[in-house]
Amino acid sequence: MASSEDDLVLPPVPLATGRVVHVDGAERRVARVELVVSTEDGGELRIPLEQRHGAWWAPPQGP
């Protein structure tokens, strides 16, 4: 499928860093980070980020 200028593209930079989050006053280790995209028609796409080099990155784009 050919891409267009309207396609959502994630940058080739870390989107998050760190290994813990604070939830209700407790420190919890991060196991997974996802980007959630909601569409106008109510659909939802979950894009799991990959942990590399101490940061969370978007998955590589296909050809």
DSSP string, 17-57: E-SEEEETTEEEE----EEEEE-TTS-EEEEE-EEETTEEE
Give 32-56 pLDDT, tens digit per residue. Answer: 999 999 999 999 999 999 999 989 9
State the pLDDT at residue 56: 95
Predicted confidence band of residue 1 (pLDDT cuts 50, 70, 90): low
